[in-house]
Amino acid sequence: MDAPWIQCATGTADRGRALLYSRWVGLAVLCLLCLVRLLLSAGGTIPPHPDEAMLWAAGQPLGAVLGGDHPLVSLILSASVELLGNTVFALRAPGVIALGLASIAVWRLAGLLYDARVAFWAAVVFATLPVVSYASAIAGTAGFLPLFWAVALHGLLRGLKSDSLVWWLVLGTAFGLGLLTDGAMALLVPCFLLYGLLSPEYHALWRRRGLWLALGLGLAIAAPAFWAGLLHADLTPQPTPAAGFAFLVAQVAVFGPIPATVLAWVALHPGGGAMIGGYGPGDERRAADERARRGYRIRFFLSFSLPVVALATLAAAMGGALPAEAAAVAYVGGAILVASWLLTTPLRRGLLRLCVALHILGALLFFNLDGLLRDSGLRPPAGLDPFADLRGMDRVAVWGGELAARYPGVPMIFDDPGILASLRFQSHPRSTVMVLASALGGADAIGLGPAPNGILVITRAPTGPDTPTPDTPAADTSNDEGGRDAGFVDIEAVPGRWISLRARFLPPAGEQP
């Protein structure tokens, strides 16, 4: 009797089940999940996030992308907004589509080492993960990087099996595009190293010329943008163990409690012996062969999952400001391992279906949570509000529009990149020149050239837990730097967190304030 997880491959499953796990049905299911996320994104109530606006702003103009941290994402978002219009949906649709393609890539990747049933459920698990729902709701690098990670692993597996130049080029291209998406793609290198150390069949991995060709191609594609970002990065360690622990705990939320528990169990039992069953007396050799294959699969996907979480946690503990979804690429292989483990017994298969159902319900709630909170009048504290960082930005945009109307044609200089990007994205039309003070070497008119209409300088007052309300209203700030007050706004975005902005008008040279 065949083991239950390989019945589909050996043809003992019934015709209906074979149809369910066929190529066209699997593709249709994944496309349907992507379409649902697009509809949720189009009809969602989540306002634009400052980070989304900053990614878009980095693509304006095109040449500025070369100095950005995520140039490929900025280019894609910029092109989407130009094509679909100045809407939040235009910002988020590319990430949703990229995640849909990533789920298809996971499906094909799992099919290289597992049967059709495992591949299908692995793709469904990945497509419904909480981190995928979050990346679909708020545009960011987590919406694009899993695609390149999955394609890179696909190219690696194909390259190792066939040593074909084509698949090494696929690996290198995916690696390079991933680096242009986010520097986290560089974690693929230590994953390579760990895989070579753990896999007896590939101890000579680093002797493969194709692998070096792929790495060189990836670095060539990413240069000079990747190296420019690396040279300007602040690598000074600032140990904060609590931040590392918080990041690690957050992975349970972004991967889901059930998948996180299963992945931890598989990591602690990498041999996979407990999953081998269905063999009678005299089948010891078949069981041993299956155990060896199982161990090979687990080593491969763990090598490209656990190091990502571990190194990202270490980076957070050393002071890196990493969002919880920074380790999203770890769950490409993680979803495959979870699906393969949960398909081994009837009880586990029921747990798998429950996991997918809970993730879908959670996604529906998340996309509508902001509207539900507004309708109910509830204001959760900042630590419990998933949208704390974008609260109040709609009112900031209204204030900025009124300020631009009072001072038509006057350039604006900002000290906060998030405020600048949000106002640029939400301003209609974008006729007002808006720049960041640090890009000019200071809040002055030197970098702007002649300013016949004067300049507006918008500064953000520091607020935080120790200063929950502005001690001095922005309008009462003295004019010790010249100019005159042009307006201010104090917004309590969430309980205990304020957005306080002050606008100061600097008249043209020779004109009295």
Rounded average pLDDT over 190-196: 89
Please say if the pLDDT value at position 99 is more than 70. yes
d(CA 79, CA 150): 24
| pLDDT of 279 | 39
d(CA 443, CA 424): 18
Residue 101 CA to chain centroid, in angstroms? Answer: 14
Rounded average pLDDT over 299-328: 85
Please say if the pLDDT value at position 405 is more than 80. yes
Please say if the pLDDT value at position 64 is more than 60. no
The H or E element containing residue 414 is strand 412-414
**Phi, psi dihedral angles at 504 (to 5 degrees):** -125, 130
d(CA 97, CA 157): 25
**Is the bond preceding residue 508 a cis peptide, omega within 30 degrees?**
no
Binning pLDDT at 50, 70 and 90, where does residue 231 land? low
Question: How many Å from the N-terminal Cα to the C-terminal Cα in the chain?
Answer: 90
Q: How far is CA 481 from CA 289, 377, 477, 486, in A?
A: 77, 41, 10, 14
Contact by Cβ (8 Å): 343, 117: yes
Instruction: Provide the token pair at 303.
Output: 């090598």
Of 240-254, 296-310, 487-501, the one with minimum mean pLDDT is: 487-501
Rounded average pLDDT over 419-437: 69
Rounded average pLDDT over 357-385: 79
**Is the bond preceding residue 190 a cis peptide, omega within 30 degrees?**
no
pTM: 0.83
Helix 330-342 and helix 241-255, axial crossing angle in degrees, nearest 10: 50
30 or 483, greater pLDDT: 30
| pLDDT of 308 | 92
Nearest CA to 24 out of 153, 120, 126 is that of: 120
| pLDDT of 234 | 59
Question: What mean pLDDT value characterizes the chain?
Answer: 78
Instruction: Provide the token pair at 490.
Output: 């104090």
Rounded average pLDDT over 313-341: 86
DSSP 8-state symbol, 506: E
**Phi, psi dihedral angles at 436 (to 5 degrees):** -95, 135
Nearest CA to 47 out of 381, 363, 388, 324 is that of: 388
Rounded average pLDDT over 152-170: 93
> Quick one: three-class SS letters along 106-173?
HHHHHHHHCCHHHHHHHHHHHHCCHHHHHHHHCCCHHHCHHHHHHHHHHHHHHHHHHCCHHHHHHHHH
Rounded average pLDDT over 71-78: 88
Binning pLDDT at 50, 70 and 90, where does residue 291 land? low
Q: What's the count of helices (H) and strands (E) in the chain, helices before strands? A: 22, 5
Rounded average pLDDT over 107-130: 93
SS3 331: helix
CB atoms within 10 A of CB 451: 18
Contact by Cβ (8 Å): 91, 139: yes
